[in-house]
Amino acid sequence: MSFGFVRVAAAVPRIKVADCEYNAANIINIIRKAEAKGIQIIVFPELSITAYTCGDLFHQEALLKGAEAQLSNILESTKDTSLFAVLGMPVYSDNQLFNCGVAIQGGKILGVVPKTYLPGYNEFYEERWFATGQKASSDTVFLCGQQVPFGSDLLFEADPDSRVCLGIEICEDLWAPISPSSYQAVSGATVLLNLSASNDIVGKCIYRRELARNQSAKCIAAYIYSSSGIDESTTDVVFGGHALICENGEIIAESERFIRDEQLIYTEIDVERLVNDRFKNTVFMEGPERKKFRKIVFKLNELKDVESGNIARYINPHPFVPSDESVRNERCREIFAIQTAGLAKRLEHTGTKHAVIGISGGLDSTLALLVTAKTFDLLDFSRKNIIAITMPGFGTTDETYKNAHKLMESLNVSIREINIKEACLQHFRDIGHDVDVHDVTYENVQARERTQILMDVANKVGGLVIGTGDLSEMALGWSTYNGDHMSMYSVNCGIPKTLVRYLVKWAVDNVADKSTAEVLRRILETPITPELLPPGKGGKINQKTEEIIGPYELHDFFLYHMVRYGAPPKKILFLASYAFRDKYSKDTIKKWLKVFYKRFFSQQFKRSCIPDGPKVGTISLSPRGDWRMPSDAESRLWIRELEG
């Protein structure tokens, strides 16, 4: 099972200018290496059989015949291979010479695509030798003894998976305001191939990288780009051999420039993910006016080594958390700004200058209090208008109790302590519940008592109750209905648990003074717990959330791939097993994945009536926005796939 993955590559071969035989030998060698690696699709640079910098030699019959002869050689030498390859060469047709990409597979030419946009400025003068593909009058060309499809209206569709559809453009085509690949994408191409000969000047690689990355994002496609290397003529310019593989706005593989050897970069692209994004994006098909394309079918062999874990693609075990520290810090800064902007608007709109928030000494309430304090600073409100309430109960430990008090003190907010034990005991008597039975009733009475206190204090001071629950808890329904499930504005609702920890870490260095930073570090070391059961021996925390419902890093991984990309259960299991291969067994991951599905489906009724709060990332479970799901949907199909 390939799970929608396709192994693609961009090659930069060693060449000699105008030495077609030498160039063909290197192309053949790379194709054979790629075949051995299970690569299914490969693209070579522009005019790779002749070299790009031949100049007026393109008008020489010897060069043109030599290129065709060596294409025949490549076809014969690779007829026992199965990968789809695109090579660059000049092709004569209709009294004109075209700069073309030639698609081959198994010793046959599948089609020839001419370049559409020819640069004739600065160091480029392609119009001197080539005609634009728009001037072609024939839809076939005779090449290497084969009559083959010819034109810029060709797409290549895989059999048996038609979702794998290839479009080809050449170098300058990407620089055009509306690239040929844009038309190819809206007509079904999910994988865009670019044969290029882009020379290197200072800063150009950055612009080139952004062009390819952004085109993959705009087209919701994979973009495979290969450019000529250091062996091109250096008469006036130098080429660095820049190769890129992008997927929907992300660069997932890139070559090193100016390497004095051949290069072959490859990875897997996820076509299932691209298709899912396209049909969810309702404006995708409202792009450029669709053109008519001829579709040529080619055989795509299934990747047989993916399920065994032989993949080149990096699977991030923490998809909500950028691995690069500078990117992560900028992400945290932006999220914090979104949270404070959302709360500031709500306070201004309601005309209140007071906020009420319950402080447990845990991560979520800590982040919510930090956001609230910063918001009050922005609005020039006194922090004393923040009523921070700690509400010790049956499960409160000295550790969290001290953390809560020190945090409130360091932020200079108004501190209140209301012990809920007596109120809960009275409620147990009222409803006839045995205090020694530590079941869901025992736990939820405490949660609802705390929420009642917050709501009533907010009414008394004319303030808003600030919610502390996060995205991961919402996904799992890990909250008490009409207890901590409820607030008047929920600042953490768009943030997964794995990212909450990094936001608090970021706050240590960016928004906290010395005393606050000290207590934040202690909070970061405290296990995640609802503290609704009595402490264990020595007053230690007895109830650890992740021992009950599973590791949050797994649940956040499941949530991301299910909601963001609609990935099916077996694929999520495979991805998680690969990403966490050194930490959890496959059976352990499957166990918690079943828990995730059962809770995600059964707890939708809580998400159907959650408070307002800001969306901060690509995933939100707000019933008013991103996630609209019936509360009584069955999880049977998802669980059955895991058990099958």
Domains delineated in the chain: 5-299 (3.60.110.10), 325-643 (3.40.50.620)
Q: What is the identity of the amino acid at 384? A: K
Average pLDDT (193-203) is: 95
Question: Active-site residue among 20, 46, 126, 165?
Answer: 46
175 contact partners, CB below 8 Å, separation of at least 6: 117, 119, 211
Q: How far apart are CA 603 and CA 625, in angstroms?
A: 18
**pLDDT value of position 307:** 82
Residues 620, 613: Cα–Cα separation, whole Å: 10
pLDDT digits (tens, 9 = 90+) for 348-406: 999 999 999 999 999 999 999 999 999 999 999 999 999 999 999 998 888 899 999 99
- Record the tokens describing residue 287, joined without a space: 């792009």
Mean pLDDT in residue range 412-420: 97
Structure tokens at 21: 């035989």
Strands (E), 486-525: 489-490
Segment 525-539 mean pLDDT: 75
Could you read off the pLDDT of 232-248 as tens digits, one per residue? 999 999 999 999 999 99
- pLDDT computed for residue 304 by the predictor: 84
Instruction: State residue 433's pLDDT score.
Output: 96
> Is the per-residue pLDDT at 21 higher than 70?
yes
Annotation says 332 is catalytic: no
Q: Is the pLDDT of residue 539 over 70?
A: no
pLDDT at 7: 98
Dihedral, 234, 264, 75, 246 alpha carbons, nearest 10: -100
| Residue among 54, 144, 165, 171 flagged as catalytic | 171
Task: Determine which one of 20, 68, 115, 172 is catalytic.
Answer: 115
The pLDDT of residue 302 is above 90: no
Q: Average the pLDDT over 314-337 and give the result.
A: 96
DSSP state of 122: T
Distance between terminal CA atoms of the chain? 14
Taking the C-alpha atoms of residue 91 and residue 102, their distance in angstroms, rounded to an integer, is 9
Buried/exposed 360-374: b ≥16 CB within 10 Å, e otherwise: bbbbbbbbbbbbbbb
Mean pLDDT along residues 435-457 = 95
What would the pLDDT profile of 558-602 be if each residue is shown by its tens digit? Answer: 999 999 999 999 999 999 999 999 999 999 999 999 999 999 999
Check residue 538 and give its pLDDT. 66
So what's the pLDDT on residue 540? 67
Give the pLDDT of residue 125.
87
Position 499 scores a pLDDT of: 96
Calculate the average pLDDT of the chain. Answer: 95
| Known active-site residue 165 | no
Give pLDDT, residue 1: 61
- For residue range 133-190, list pLDDT tens digits in order: 999 999 999 999 999 999 999 999 999 999 999 999 999 999 999 999 999 999 999 9
Which residue has 């044969």 as its token pair? 195
Active site residue 20: no
Specify the pTM.
0.93
Give CA separation, 369 vs 228, 326, 410, 506, 525, in Å: 55, 25, 11, 15, 18
**What is the pLDDT at residue 234?**
93
542: pLDDT strictly greater than 70: no
Cβ distance 418 to 389 under 8 Å?
yes
- pLDDT for 533 equals 78
| Helices (runs of H) and strands (runs of E) counted in the chain | 20, 20
Per-residue pLDDT tens for 605-623?
Answer: 999 999 999 999 999 999 9
* Between 548 and 338, the higher pLDDT residue: 338
Q: What's the pLDDT band for 36 if we cut at 50, 70, 90?
A: very high
Q: Please, are residues 487 and 616 in contact by the beta-carbon 8 Å criterion?
A: no
d(CA 313, CA 335) in angstroms, rounded, equals: 28
Residue 234 neighbours by CB distance under 10 Å? 12
Query: What is the rounded CA–CA span in Å between residue 9 and residue 546?
Result: 41
